[in-house]
Each structure stands twice: as structure tokens, then as C-alpha cells.
Structure 1
Amino acid sequence: MSATTHPTGRALRGATPDGRPPRAASGASRPGTVGAAVRRWLLGSLAVLVAVVWVFPIYWMIQSAFLPTNRLRTPEPTFFPVDGTLSNFRRVLADPTFFASFRVSLGVTAVTLVAAIVFAFLAALAVSRFRFRGRKSFIVTILVVQMIPAEGLFISQYQMLDGWRLVNTIAGLSIVYVAAILPFTIWMLRGFVTGVPIDLEEAGMVDGLSRTGAFFRITFPLLAPGLVASGVYGFLQAWNEYTLALVVMTDPAQRTLPLWLQGLVEANRATDWGVVMAGATLIAVPVILFFLFVQNKMTAGLVAGAVKG
């Protein structure tokens, strides 16, 4: 801290080199700062409370999977399975129908995801980048289709697949799934495509790129977050869907995992809830892994789009 001389000859302690008195400290003593800190603390506490309420059913499912049946049937709840067992998981993995249903669900989800993303991406590009006759009618049709309850289409969908001999097949169920998730996927991707200015492609074409080259080198990387978000939606819908699979997959040998889990519940009068919770936990594992993997890709795509834009 320097000391300068006042015009009267006295030195001012803490003054700046040009002779001005130091400024008062700001921030800590302002009345609004305390209110903002309290507000942030309340909002943070509310967010933690909502997160706990949301996560608790998942935690209860996982911890119940490690408890034997006699512990699950007791009136006193068990919150921490300190003396848990892996017997429930062993019984699920020893069931050959589990792996058969897993293969069916995996095949249906893969076909549905690829087909829905490709068709929705092309449709979103056409609606957003081109002006053609019937464009507005097509957009309105997408919204109208979203309003139709899925249960109202079961009979017609089953008759259609039965006429094509696609009942109890992965291809037949995939067609129904693609038709179910395609309207919303198109609407979602349309927002991402519209958010990327076409001027970026035109600037690339001015620099010597072709229209196709400008799209794949400039626009397509910016659309990666939208494709990933649509992929997450399609994966969740196809992997966890139950009602359409119940209508189309009538053969017990061609059941998806949700149907397998329902059959496990109804197999006996006394349901073994430990096995049911273990099966539900194993069904949720691929979803969690897929989301964690895609979350990293989504963040990388957002950052890359911001830099390239």
C-alpha cells in the first residue's frame, strides 16, 4: 500500500499513485447480494429435492433386486441391502427366454432407430430447405398424426401386417415402430435444420465447395446434436414400448423384453418380485449405457457446432 502526499503536506495512507483516495470494496456488503445468495440456495435445494424424488424409484428397483423374496415381503422396508444377494440376477440370466427376448428387442430397436433417423432427416431437410407444393399440408399432417391415439390404429396395423405375413417378425414390429415415432422425429429434426442458416452453405459454395460438399462439411456437423437427440428418443421408444409389441408379437418365442417381463410377473400366482426387479434392472442397463455414450457425443457435437459456426 503506497502513501502519497496531500496538498496540505500530509500523507494519505492507501491512496492510489495519482493521489486519489481508494475505492470502497464492492459486492460483499450490498443488500442485493445476500438476497441473491439465499435465492440460489433455495433453488439449489429445490433442484436437489426434485432429483431425489425422481431417482428414488430407480434406487428402490435396484436395491430390491438384491434382496431375497422373504425380505421383500416384510412390512418393514429395507433401504440399504447390506446383506443382499445375487441370486435374483442368476435366476434371470439362467432363463434362456431372457436372451431370446433380448435379441428380439435389440434387433427391433436397431432397425427402428436407423430407419427412423434416415427418413426423418430427409423429410426434415425437404420441409426446411425447399419450397414445394403441399409443403404446408405435409407439416399439418405431421401434427394431426401426432394427435391420433396409438390404440385407435391397432386393428388396422395388425390387419396390414397379417396381410403382408409380417406378424411375429422383427421387420413387422419395426415398421409399426417407425410409423409411430416418425412424425415427432421429423418435427424435432425440422427445428434443428431450420436453426442452421442456409447462408453457411452458400458461403461454402462461394469458396469453391459443391452444394453436396458444403452440406456435408458445414451443415451436417452442426446438425449432429439434433440427430443424437432424435436417436435417443427413438431408442427409448423402441426399447421400452409395450402395447404395440403386445399386439404384433403374439408368439411367446418372439417376445420383446417388456413382454418377457410381463410374462415373468404373470407366470405364477405368487410373483417373485426379486426376480422381477432384477429383470427390470437388467433391461434398464442398455438404456443407461446408451444414454451415457450418446451424452458425450451430444456435448462434443454442440461444442463443434459452436466452433464451426
Structure 2
Amino acid sequence: MKLTKKKIIHGLIYMILIAGMLIVVLPMIYMISTSLKPNGALYEYPPKFFPEWKEITLENYKYILEQSKFYRNFFNSIFVSVVTVVIAAFVSAALAFCIARFRFPGRNFLFTFIMLTMIIPGTTLIVPQYELAVKLGAINSLRGLIPFYVAWVIPYSTFMIKGFVENLPKELDEAIYIDGGSVFTVFFRIILPLTKPGIASISIFNFLTAWEEFPWANTVINDDLKRTLPIAISGFFGQHQFTQWGYVFALSVFSLIPILIVFISCQKFFVAGLTTGGVKG
């Protein structure tokens, strides 16, 4: 009886996992299949989830690759995302190191303030951020994206990396100080190398944040050549009085490539980061 009950529970768990996997995977499969259809076939009735073999075409991808601004938009997204990740990783690691290792007046208030900024909806800050961008002369420039993206991801990054720093024994720091090392030596020789899994896992989320962000980029950037990929994708909506879904999904497939590369490259660090971050020692 116990064995049968255990099998039933395992069966239910597998069914739930399979259902969850289908919910996540099916939209991506539909996106890819739609990108392989001609635009006219998207409005056929009854609709088909998969195109017939003779209907498969690469015209949507060919059209996207023939657009010179696509390469510029793609580079803009890569540049903004990579710079955001690098700056955020360094600043968050340094801030987490200071909060976790040093005792100074206002330390708890600083950390609490950083955490409170995480609960503020980003859309409520668009107006003051826009005014700040105008004063900084960062409108219609990639400089109007990077500083704000970094500011958005620093609170959560600091919170996560702080947990990794606290898991490191302070004896490592003391050994460096005894040998005549400075705070910078501890940070660059101990903290950064040993918190690499945590920084890598957080960097994946930071990359996704900068890569997929739409409202702020759409507010600040007006020049087609300075836009990022999400804005370029939105340009096909309503074009020629109807949405060209084939182009939309073809460009969306291209936008997935860097995300897959980043995740696959950092997968081992991502798994190690989640495991280490879940253990308090």
C-alpha cells in the first residue's frame, strides 16, 4: 500500500513537472514555427501550430538579415547589456564586501535602504529618471540606458553577493592583513575569486534585465540606429496596417541567441551559485 501511494505521488509530481515544462516550452516552439511561415499563412483558418513542410520558408530571417539597422540594434543591446553586467558586478561586489565585513555607523540603515529600493516599481520612476537624463544630457544616447540599468540591478545583486561574502571565513581576510595586505588585496585576491559563482549567477539575471528592458529604452531612445533589439522588435507592430508576425518572431529568435550563449556559458556557475547561496555557514 505504501509503495502504491508513493508511486501515485511520484506520478503526480511528474505530471505537474511535464505540464510546467509544456507551459514554458510551447510558446517558444510556436515562436520558432511561426517565424518559418510566410506572413500570409499566419492568418489562415483553421490555424496550424506547425507549418507544413512545403510552407517552411526562411524569408523572414532573410529579410531581417538584410536590414542594416538590425546589426546596429543588435550591437547596441550587446554593448548595453555587457557594460551593465560588468559595472554592476564590480560595484555590487564592493558594496556587499563593505557591508558584510566592516562595522561602521549607518551600516544597517544603508543595507535596509538598499533593500527598500527593491520594492519600488520601476515604472513609477520613469518621470524623475527622464528629468535626470535630460539634465545629464543622456537623452537619445546609450549613456541614458547604462547608468539607470546599473542602478536598477545593484540592490538585488548586493543582497545576493552579501550572502556569499558572509559565508567566507574571516580568517582568510585576517591572513592577508597579517601578511601586510590591504583591503584592496583582500577584495581582489579573496572576495572576487571566491564569490565568482554568486557574481556569475547574478550576472545572468542582470544581463537579462538589460537585454529585455523595453519601457525605459523606448522613452529615452528615438534614433533608429541607437535603439536596442526590444525596440526594434516593437517596430514591426502595426507596420503597414498590420503586425508582421513572421518578422517579429524571426527577430525574437535572433534575440534569444545571446541569452542561450550566456546561460550555457555560465551554467556551472549558476548552479553552484544557487547551491552555495542557499547554505548559511
TM-score range, shorter chain: 0.7 to 0.9
- Distance in 1, matches of 2:179 and 2:10, equals 51
2:152 to 170, 180, 191: 180
**2:73 equivalent to 1:101:** yes
CA-CA distance at 1:224 after TM superposition:
1.6
More helix by share: 2
1:91 is matched with: 63
Would the alpha carbon gap of residues 132 and 200 (structure 1) be closer, same or farther in structure 2, given more than 3 Å must change? same
- Distance in 2, matches of 1:303 and 1:138, equals 27
CA deviation string 1:184-225 (max 9, x = no partner): 1111211222233324544x5599695666665555443121
1:111 is matched with: 83
**2:226 equivalent to 1:254:** yes
- Distance in 2, matches of 1:159 and 1:215, equals 36
2:35 is matched with: 65
**2:219 equivalent to 1:266:** no
**2:229 equivalent to 1:233:** no
CA deviation string 1:244-277 (max 9, x = no partner): 1011112233111111111121322122211111
Letter of the structure 2 residue corresponding to residue 78 of structure 1: K
The 5-angstrom pairing of residues 177-216 of structure 1 reads 177-202=149-174, 204=175, 210=181
1:165 is matched with: 137
8 A contact 1:201–1:211 mirrored in 2? no
CA deviation string 1:8-41 (max 9, x = no partner): xxxxxxxxxxxxxxxxxxxxxxx43333233222
CA deviation string 1:162-200 (max 9, x = no partner): 222221222221011111111111112112222333245
- Distance in 2, matches of 1:209 and 1:296, equals 34
- Distance in 1, matches of 2:246 and 2:192, equals 47
- Distance in 1, matches of 2:16 and 2:220, equals 43
The alignment partner of 1:264 has SS state of coil
Letter of the structure 1 residue corresponding to residue 153 of structure 2: I
- Distance in 2, matches of 1:286 and 1:89, equals 17
- Distance in 2, matches of 1:302 and 1:53, equals 24
1:75 to 20, 25, 45: 45
Unmatched tracts of structure 2, length 5 or more: none
2:22 is matched with: 52
Unmatched tracts of structure 1, length 5 or more: 1-30
**2:7 equivalent to 1:37:** yes
8 A contact 1:101–1:260 mirrored in 2? yes
1:7 is matched with: none
Q: How does the TM-score come out when normalised to structure 2? A: 0.88
2:109 is matched with: 137
Query: RCO (CA 8 Å, sep 6+): is it higher in 1 or 2?
Result: 2
Letter of the structure 2 residue corresponding to residue 197 of structure 1: P
Letter of the structure 2 residue corresponding to residue 238 of structure 1: A
Of all paired residues, the percent bearing the same amino acid is 31
Letter of the structure 2 residue corresponding to residue 190 of structure 1: K
1:277 is matched with: 249
CA deviation string 1:50-99 (max 9, x = no partner): 11111111111111100112221112232333331111100111111211
With 55-64 and 215-224 compared, the bigger mean Cα shift is at: 215-224
Would the alpha carbon gap of residues 148 and 215 (structure 1) be closer, same or farther in structure 2, given more than 3 Å must change? closer
Count of aligned pairs between the two proteins: 275
With 208-217 and 260-269 compared, the bigger mean Cα shift is at: 208-217
8 A contact 1:113–1:235 mirrored in 2? yes
**2:94 equivalent to 1:122:** yes
The alignment yields a C-alpha RMSD, in angstroms, of: 2.6
CA-CA distance at 1:118 after TM superposition:
0.7
